[in-house]
Amino acid sequence: MALKEEFYYKSPIFIQNILTSLYGKKLMGERYGAGYEKMLRQLREKDRTQDYRIEQLDRLNQFLLFVEAHTPYYRELFRQHDIKLPFTSLDQLATIPILEKETLRQRNDAFMSEVDAPVRGRTGGTSGKSLQVAFMREDIQERMAHLDYFKETHGFFSGMPRASFTGRTLTAVDQKKPIFWRKNRPLNQLLLSIFHMKEENFPAYIEELNRFRPAVLDGTPTAMVEIARYLLKHNKQLDFRMIAIFPTSETVTEEMRSVLEEAFSAPVFDQYGSSEGAPIISECRNRKLHLHHETGIIEPYGTDGEVVVTCFTTRGTPLIRYRIGDRMTLSHETCGCGLNGPVVASIDGRGTSFIVSEKRGKVFEGDITTIARELPNSVLRLQVEQYALNRVTLRYIPDNQRFQPKHEKILLNEMRKLLGAEMLITLEPVEQVKQEPNGKTLIVKQSMK
């Protein structure tokens, strides 16, 4: 453990709150500044009657010319493939080869641009090997402006109180006091740990939310759902009203959205980005998902909904036609909300969030979540874990007041419809679905070797 982490965990809670606020002040310096103010003002005043593709092509060319000048990997790649800039059409982007995650991992240093990119991020992959990415301060500030503009369209403005369910380790493992949150005062933010999501702790979380009275919730939706289910189970409500809920980092199913909106009496507006840096997608007042076309391009890849992304705000570690591993349903639909960028019909989950069936091929998370619809609200949560090509376990949390023995047969039949009769399916009722080390609770867990 690093010395500063050891000092944090051994400090009294009031000192931890001070240290959290000092870290928040550092983040403010990275995320907010002249670049942020300029971009936010442009987004507020933008003429959205023009064809977005004109601006998108201009931004693409600016990005590619920058990358050619400053990034060793792409300078050589463009030379090898005789890629001439600037492009005259967005279609020419397809002349650049797909970037695989493993290439980015193995040649990480070659992707680092020869520029001042002090903001570092890390993301873990399916191989377990950490992937480091770098951001220029200007790019981080542009991304924050887009995210804050999205929230402004729903009534939340910078400085209002917000409560965030976070995977950051806020408390010591052996902490005795039920104070599973810390304060980031510069951002007026209550940080709530997702590592203590047990029913005996929920009253403490709810009491603190009632005391802090945030205007919005954001962060990990599976953690919010745990609190929401507790409120509904015990017929309780928060003693204040929120503007909205902004989930991040996980796929939000319709069931999750319904539970959150019922329990918290606030609308859910989804958003999409990534720790590597991907184009930003956000949900408008009409419940349509819009690509912020100023931040990048999303293209379909393959036949199962996978996409590749090109992100203009990744100049420190450029991502061009990057196979990020996510699935989306793209759309040619338009929306009357006033935003003129492309509409994304749905964000369908991570590329690894599927079960492999010998008969059915890949069965994705979104399909698996539908099996509980055949039941009369008698199952609170599902998780499917695959151990072999023909063997899975379906864990479920039964509602003890509604669940009946015949419902197990319905679950088994629905699973066989999805995965085929040859799949060996074990049903396992549980009181709680175990969290992963990062605090998330997976719907689909791949343990197949």
pLDDT digits (tens, 9 = 90+) for 27-39: 888 889 999 999 9
pLDDT of residue 24: 83
Q: Which whole number is the average pLDDT over 293-304? A: 92
DSSP string, 250-261: S---HHHHHHHH
The tokens describing 191, both together, are 């940080």
Predicted pLDDT at 350:
62
34-143+273-350: CATH topology is Rossmann fold (3.40.50)
pLDDT of residue 122: 60
Of 3.90.870.10, 3.40.50.150, 3.30.9.10, 3.30.300.30, which CATH number belongs to 354-446?
3.30.300.30
User: Regarding predicted confidence, which is higher, 360 or 19?
Assistant: 19
Number of alpha carbons in the 13 Å side-chain half-sphere of residue 290:
24
Stated as kind and residue range, the H or E segment containing 272 is: strand 271-272
What's the CA gap between 231 and 280, in Å, rounded? 32
Query: Taking residues 162-175, what's their average pLDDT?
Result: 78
What are 198-239's pLDDT values in tens digits? 888 999 999 999 999 999 999 988 889 989 999 999 999 999
Whole-number percent of the chain with pLDDT over 90: 55
Who wins on pLDDT, 270 or 372? 270
d(CA 395, CA 431): 10
The number of angstroms, rounded, from the C-alpha of 391 to the middle of its chain's C-alpha atoms is 29
Q: Is pLDDT at 7 greater than 80 in this prediction?
A: no
Q: Are 440 and 224 a contacting pair, CB within 8 Å?
A: no
Mean pLDDT of 14-33: 86
Beta strands 361-364 and 162-166 are unpaired
Predicted pLDDT of residue 380: 79
- Give the Cα separation of 320 and 67 in Å (integer): 10
Per-residue HEC secondary structure of 191-209 comes to EEECCCCCHHHHHHHHHHH
Average pLDDT over residues 292-320: 94
Q: Is-contact 99 323, C-beta < 8 A?
A: yes
Length, in residues, of the chain: 449
Among the four given CATH numbers 3.90.75, 3.40.50, 3.40.190, 2.60.120, the one describing domain 3-31+155-268? 3.40.50
Give the DSSP H/E element, type plus range, for residue 27.
helix 13-31
- pLDDT value at position 261? 97
From 66, 74, 65, select the one nearest 320 (Cα to Cα).
74
Determine the residue type at 243: I
Identical fold for domains 34-143+273-350 and 354-446, yes or no, is no
DSSP summary character for residue 310: E
Percentage of residues of the chain with pLDDT beyond 70: 93
**Tokens for 309?**
């992304």
What one-letter code names the amino acid at 220? T
Mean pLDDT on 283-288: 95
The CA distance from 299 to 143, in Å, is: 20
Q: Which residues pair with 330 in a beta bridge?
A: 344
Residue 131, pLDDT score:
66
Q: Which of 53-57, 208-212, 341-345, 431-435 has the lowest mean pLDDT?
A: 431-435
The amino acid that residue 124 corresponds to is G
Q: Residue 223: what pLDDT?
A: 86
Which positions ≥6 away from 400 have C-beta within 8 Å? none
Give the distance, in angstroms, between the CA of residue 72 and the centroid of all CA atoms in the same chain.
Answer: 30
Q: Is the pLDDT of residue 411 over 80?
A: yes
Q: Around 40, how many Cα atoms within 13 Å sit in the side-chain half-sphere?
A: 20
Distance CA 163, CA 191 (A): 6
Contact 425, 412 (CB under 8 A): yes
Please choose, from the candidates 277, 348, 353, 346, the residue with its C-alpha nearest in 3D space to the C-alpha of residue 309.
277
pLDDT of residue 260: 97
Tokens of 70: 């400053």
* Other C-beta atoms lying within 10 Å of the C-beta of residue 402: 13
Locate 217 and state its tokens. 């919730």
Predicted pLDDT of residue 437: 75
Compute the mean pLDDT over every residue in the chain, rounded to the nearest whole number.
Answer: 88
Mean of the pLDDT values across residues 3-12?
74
The domain limits of the chain are 3-31+155-268, 34-143+273-350, 354-446
* 3-state DSSP assignment of residue 304: coil
Q: For residues 74 and 29, which has the higher predicted lDDT (pLDDT)?
A: 74
Top pLDDT among 175 and 300 is at 300
**Residue 114 to residues 19, 77, 317, 322: CA-CA distances in angstroms?**
33, 16, 10, 20
Give the per-residue pLDDT at 331. Answer: 92
Q: In this structure, are strands 391-398 and 424-429 parallel, antiparallel, or unpaired?
A: parallel
Is the torsion defined by CA of 358, 362, 366, 367 positive or negative? negative
Residue 27 has phi, psi (to 5 degrees) of: -65, -35
* Least trusted range by pLDDT, from 5-19, 90-104, 151-165, 298-312: 5-19
pLDDT of residue 351 exceeding 80? no
Whole-prediction pTM:
0.81
Q: Is the pLDDT of residue 54 over 60?
A: yes
Q: Between the CA of residue 190 and those of 168, 267, 438, what are the distances in Å?
A: 13, 20, 19
Model confidence pLDDT, tens digit, residues 354-400: 788 887 777 767 667 778 767 766 887 889 999 999 999 999 988 88
Is 128's pLDDT higher than 50?
Answer: no
Q: Is 361 left (phi over 0), alpha (psi -120 to 50) or beta?
A: left
